[in-house]
A and B are shown apart, each in its own frame.
Chain A
Amino acid sequence: NAGVTQTPKFRVLKTGQSMTLLCAQDMNHEYMYWYRQDPGMGLRLIHYSVGEGTTAKGEVPDGYNVSRLKKQNFLLGLESAAPSQTSVYFCASDQGTDYGYTFGSGTRLTVV
Chain B
Amino acid sequence: QQPVQSPQAVILREGEDAVINCSSSKALYSVHWYRQKHGEAPVFLMILLKGGEQKGHDKISASFNEKKQQSSLYLTASQLSYSGTYFCGTDSGGYQKVTFGTGTKLQVIP
Contact = CB atoms under 8 A, between A and B. Distances in A.
Interface of A: 31, 33, 35, 40-45, 48, 50, 58-59, 90, 94, 96-106
B92 to A, nearest CB: 12
Contacts of A97: 29-30, 91, 94-96
Interface residues on B, range: 20 to 34
Interface in B10-67: 29-30, 32, 34, 40-47, 49
Contacts of A90: 41-42
A98 B40 contact: no
5 contacts: A31-B96, A33-B98, A43-B87, A97-B30, A100-B44
A45 B96 contact: no
Contacts of B100: 35, 42-44
B84 interface: no
Nearest to A6: B41
